[in-house]
Structure 1
Amino acid sequence: MRLVKVATCNLNQWAMDFDGNLSRIKASIEKAQQEGAVFRVGPELEVTGYGCEDHFLEQDTLTHGWECLAEILSSDLTQGIVCDIGLPVEQGGVRYNCRAFCLNGKILLIRPKKYLANDGNYRELRWFSAWKHHHQTVELQLPGFITRITSQKFVPFGDAYLAFNDTAIAAETCEELFTPASPHIDLALNGVEIIANGSGSHHQLRKLNTRLDLMRSGTGRSGGVYMYANQQGCDGGRLYYDGCACVVVNGDVVAQGSQFSLQDVEVITAVVDLDAVSSYRGAISSLREQASQQSLIPRVNVGFTLSQPDNYSSGFPSLPIAVRYHVPQEEIALGPACWLWDYLRRSGATGFLLPLSGGADSSSVAAIVGSMCQQVVKALEEGNEQVKLDVARIAHYEKASLPKDSQDLAKRILHTVYMGSENSSEDTRTRSSNLAKQIGASHLDVKIDTVVSSLVLLFSSLTGKTPHYKVDGGSTAENLALQNIQARVRMVIAYMLATLLPWVRSKPGFFLVLGSANVDEGLRGYLTKYDCSSADINPIGGISKQDLRAFLRWGAENLGYSALEEIEAAPPTAELEPIRKNYTQLDEVDMGMTYEELSLYGRLRKIFQCGPVSMFQHLCHRWHGRLTPTEVATKVKDFFCYYSINRHKMTTLTPSYHAENYSPEDNRFDHRQFLYNTWWPWQFRKVDEEVKKMEQQKLPSIIMSTDEPTHAEIATKHATGLGVPAAAAGNVSTGGVTLAGKA
């Protein structure tokens, strides 16, 4: 048996943190050595951090990357162990995202990425070029200070693999696993037995299954050992890299790391039997036939033996294990919580300030911070030294008196405030207080009526007119203005408290203000620009309302916050208008669409790239038997009108944890304009033509669901001839002025 012990890792790297990144790389190599591994793979661009973005255009970034590699090569870290390290490299005046294979103080090969990630959250083609010379290598001239360490002036650079005395190793980088013709297929057919993937793959709800299925499928078809390393943590932006480093052999997962963890360095090892790979491949006739005619990939010969034949000192071959998956509710509890902890400890802040309304969204954020506190206390109990240092610094604990439980920690770092007005109900006030108490947060109850009244009085003194709510006979403009005053006052108060509460409590530092607008409200624009949706960071800005409600039910039972159950059961309301016997403000009535519909519109718009016509056609099929084509057309027009009217709000959206791939987030993810022709004349005319065709074809009669509200009950009617919802038409203003929203 050819037994090889391999090591892969999750590293919590931080963009441009060269000291910290190098320290964590060194620690991972040392741990791999201590475990007896002879091959170690790390995450994508681990030296610089993956999220450097336009810093990759700076020559300093590349130079510092080489300087870090020089420190590794000049030490004994690579003695007896092959290290696959990710860093940016320039060759021939072109910058590449690369893997550097090192052994015994030498560089064996630098392999550039062949297929770059350039959609969704990724813009690699902005900073790097793909290696386009298929199955070719050139010589890279090393920087002089590297040559002085390694005595090498040139090293192979390009699409090649390493041939050892007993096996072959190659690299595949992140996106290449997801491509239709992945490099690992060609490599396997060339006899490469171990393929390492240094990755920078972010967390997204329900995404881990896809990642693991690709690895299992790839090695199931062509055999081999697949080693996957990943970033873990907040790299400095909206993404959370969720780790889950693993080793897959012949279609079976034999080792798996954590998906959400507060560990900065996690090393996962496995003992793999290369003879099992050879036997697996040899038993598949079609694989042998394809391999026999496969074009050859360049090889770099290395006079080094990795395996230990019939030597079980490193252990027996690792057996298949059951893959661990988290349910989506658990992912919401853990992913944003770990992201928040990284952001808090790296920002210099001493806690969070959360406007807690007692509604589903802000309560979800509070529960996520509570989950964060639970994860931190768990890490303390496990003896995580880095977490101990961070907790003592952030929450001002003496080292001998760290928090006893999550409530103790929450009292110091989570500060919630209920900002009630004359329109707020006693129910939301009570729910807010109960939840804060269960989590352990320091809670304030503030009345904002005097501030709101002062602003209304100021307006009246300037104009001689006093605005009124619509239930009291006011116009749409008056009603919106009075709602938005409350919403924006809350933002001002939140930032005042975030700045001054530490001073009041004789503590240094400042609090980060947390936002709580969900992805569906962002898509519809159902938020007030520069209200409580304006914050420092937002852990739920990429999560749908439906997923949040499921999380609240899950959290009531699994996080120990029973107050969440009552919060989830309450109908969503902004509480910005007066409550009357015959009128209660409700989100879905205000929006003219349900949250379930919004999620569907979002997926069709972003994931399936639907415009108004194709969305209408899709929904006619989906909702056949429930709605007539005319009713579907009205819904589609309503959505696109509101979406386009409010799109400008996305330009100021609080940086949000990315968890859903239909996020409308303007800055990094959803690159669409924010100034539209909101009448959509051509598209809506085409929709109307489609409706006529369907009506002329005399489709089977439509049976309306009796337990679902009709569109007439929840949606605003279109303004005559314009195709714009009447409510929206009343909200349109010039100069990018904020439109209708909620707190």
Structure 2
Amino acid sequence: MDIRMASHGYVRVGVCTPACRVADVAYNCEQIRNLVAETPDCRFFVFPELCVTAYTCGDLFFQPLLVEKARSALLELAAFTSEHRVTLVVGAPIAFRGRLYNCAVFLSDGEIRGVVPKRFLPNTQEFYEERWFSSASDLEATHLEWEGQRIPFGDDLLFRAGSMPDCLIGIEICEDAWVANPPSGRLAVAGATLLLNLSASPELLGKMEYRRALVQAQSARCLAAYVYASSGPGESSTDLVFSGHSLIAENGAILAETERFRFDSQIIVADLDIERLVNERFKNNSYGSSRSEASFRVIEFSLADLTCEQLLRPVVATPFVPQAVEERAHRCHEIFAIQTTGLAKRLLHTGATRAVIGISGGLDSTLALLVTVKAFDKLGFSRSGIETVTMPGFGTTQRTRSNAERLAEMLGTSLRVIPIDAAVRQHFADIGHDESVHDITYENSQARERTQILMNIANQVNGLLIGTGDLSELALGWCTYNGDHMSMYAVNTGVPKTLVRYLVSWCADAEFSGAIAAILHDVCDTPVSPELLPPHENGEIKQRTEDKIGPYLLHDFFLYHAVRLQNRPSKIFFLAKQAFGGDFSDPQLLHWLKTFYRRFFSQQFKRSCLPDGPKVGSVVLSPRGDWRMPSDASAALWLDDLHQLEGVVGEG
């Protein structure tokens, strides 16, 4: 299913490091045209500083022949943009009123739409730019007059794509990004979502890492996309070497970068999510309160839209779980530290030296138990003060019960085994419920009986009841109201299900060993289930959560994109197709995405009265933290957005 890029807020940008020859304008422009012609699925291209002439011309910049040839080449490239329906931003020397300026030239619609001169000219160590160029601060005019065309000139220019008004482009040049107060900051405050830097950055030991960090940081600070195009090794090597290290960043993440030290032309292409950047700014009141002292001229240009099936940007299937093993382990360590510290603080505040936790042998209660154990260790409390309670019922299997009991014993906690069958049957008799009817009353009665037991034991031992439910369950409302939904401190409330499994596995490898680690790995291999329905005849779990509500892998993906990035449902569907490929069919994705939205809206009332619990990542649903939503909001608008896809993908 092809989609229009602009309809989902994407702009495709090509960042080029062309092969070059010093002072050979014809050759350099040929390389520019070749890169564009070889990349037909892109309409917007950014090239390095002074790429028309090369950056390292030195005193040849004083030669009128070179400057005049560069001017003619710009007019030719402008005509080229009309022929190929592209937009180019190239670097060239511009002569004006007896001064020479190092400029970025914006070419589109067959014209030179604007010229932006460099403001900060490095003139220390290996740099001598003030020998040849004047700064934008010296400029006394607002326009150039070339062959009857009046061209906007100055570093107060912003360029807006007519087909996507939120794609507002600001430009700075090389050194501008390395100063204490870069122009890109005021450009972003003025609304620029896409920041371009045309650069010629020589390579030095350690500079690559610093350059990458600088680009990442500026894109994050400005809540913008930052495109950095740098000159390659075709530049003069008289005293310096240029590597051609170009980068594309978006809000602190590097989307693409070139291979360094290549003499042939290179291009990297990425799809930038302008819609996301605008939304990030909506949510950030620090950005909203920023003010720009300067005024800017906005120039419209035409940016041809593209259709595509595949995005040129990473779309990971597990946004909460890093793919790299080392990064994942680091994140698990951080989350576990946040959880244990949060619980330790609550224990200190309440003066409690006892804790109560219901354990089932499942993932969530196991993680909560491990957090509690380490919090007690941190405070120097005896683990015997942890009252672990396992409450076998109608659906409990031998596997989960055994894992729960053995784990509690090996960890040195106090263990109580309290079967709930008789108490629940008495309750059924009291309310007149037929035990053979396995409906929601049958299931929730068990959950509420367990919570009643745990609450009362907490009162009995003067302890704190530790909640076990996770973020994904809260998003879907997959918890019993006033049952497992309630506790005195919920340590997993900020951890999504896909990450819970990795946390338990990490604990097995990093925090524990031996028989305890073996049990933890078996818990990770156990199907997710509330175990409220009787098991199969062979004793295996019959009730599997994901058969009922859908794969947590998908729901965590939907949650991240719906809450963290505020993407509309149709865009989430498109992104899910990118992330999951052939793992799920289009009808399956649509079916479970509808399920997510129906449940997410209908179950808000459970999230409106959550117990306290620590935020560990960028998504949390606490009404006291990041998420404030009416419990009676309608899902119609979001479901209607998905209904429009039904004719294309069918029903799942």
TM-score normalised by L of structure 1 = 0.42
TM-score normalised by L of structure 2 = 0.48
